[in-house]
Amino acid sequence: MSAMPGVVAVNTFREAVRDRVLYNLVVFALVMIGASILVGQVSIGIDRLVIINLGLSAISLIGLVMAVFIGVGLVYKEIEKRTLYSLLAKPVRRWEFLIGKYFGLLLTLAVNTSFMTLGLAGALYYVGRPFVRSDVTVLVAAYFILLELALVTAIALLFSCFSSPILSTLFTLTIYVTGIFANDIREFGNLTHNRMMEAITRFLYYVVPNFHNFDAIGAAGHGDFVPFTLIWQNTLYAVLYATLVLTGAAAVFARRNLK
């Protein structure tokens, strides 16, 4: 395996750190501290549920904003600023650069998600309940969020290879929202009893990634266990889908003229 993507990935992570991207952790920490203090006063018996829902939703939202807004600029920015020119004159293949950028942002998201999950654990501890065995579902939910972000990043990167950041953001968010409601869209198609609508909604259901499957926030809040089968199924789904999208991105980028 070539070491080139690793070199690019570490530099992408360093860029995120130097550009103070991880400062969002401070915002998250403030939200968690504020929520922990308030929840104890306004909710009776459901403080754990509220903290988990709020914490995981914030982790998901902050991660999504980072994945989309940094992801759409990953390649575009390098072309616009022409930093890519001297890099591609080195013995670096275009797909190696692309994979490096992807894993660099993924590393940033993983570090960010890990620290936020730690913050959530701290808030849960603060509201006074000892950790119970079912709390492991919070970790599973955070892992699912990371898988979801891995997919979103791959999609944003694909668009970044041939489109402007504004359009890429629009396309990525459209796919994300469609993916969240993938099940509902298919149901809607079935209800219309129109063969064309059914075909379209079925097509969308199978083509757009089903982000609904990665939502374990409710289960974590109620302390329900997530079956192990779902964990590996989601992992496999995210890995395969991201691989497919990144292969497409590499194919597009391989023939792109860098003006």
The footprint of another protein (CB under 8 A) covers 3-4, 7, 11, 14-15, 18-19, 81-93, 255, 257-259
Measured from the CB of residue 14, what is the shortest distance to another protein in angstroms?
7
Judged by CB, which is closer to another protein: 3, or 166? 3
Judged by CB, which is closer to another protein: 41, or 86? 86
Measured from the CB of residue 4, what is the shortest distance to another protein in angstroms?
6
Burial 9-43 (b: 16+ CB within 10 A, else e): beebbebbeeeebeebbeebbebbeebbeebeeee
Alpha-carbon dihedral sign for residues 23, 24, 30, 36: negative
Measured from the CB of residue 3, what is the shortest distance to another protein in angstroms?
8
Measured from the CB of residue 252, what is the shortest distance to another protein in angstroms?
14
Judged by CB, which is closer to another protein: 83, or 174? 83
Contact, 5 vs 100, CB < 8 A? yes
How many angstroms separate the CA atoms of 105 and 11, rounded?
10
Which amino acid appears at position 111 of this protein? V
Contact, 161 vs 253, CB < 8 A? yes
Measured from the CB of residue 79, what is the shortest distance to another protein in angstroms?
10
In this structure, which long-range contacts are made by residues 218-223, counting pairs with CB atoms below 8 Å and at least 24 apart in sequence?
A: 218/53, 219/137, 219/140, 219/141, 220/52, 220/56, 220/137, 220/138, 220/140, 220/141, 221/48, 221/49, 221/52, 221/53, 221/56, 222/49, 223/132, 223/134, 223/135, 223/137
- Tokens 């890990």 belong to which residue? 114
Measured from the CB of residue 159, what is the shortest distance to another protein in angstroms?
19
Judged by CB, which is closer to another protein: 15, or 198? 15
Judged by CB, which is closer to another protein: 42, or 89? 89
Judged by CB, which is closer to another protein: 57, or 83? 83
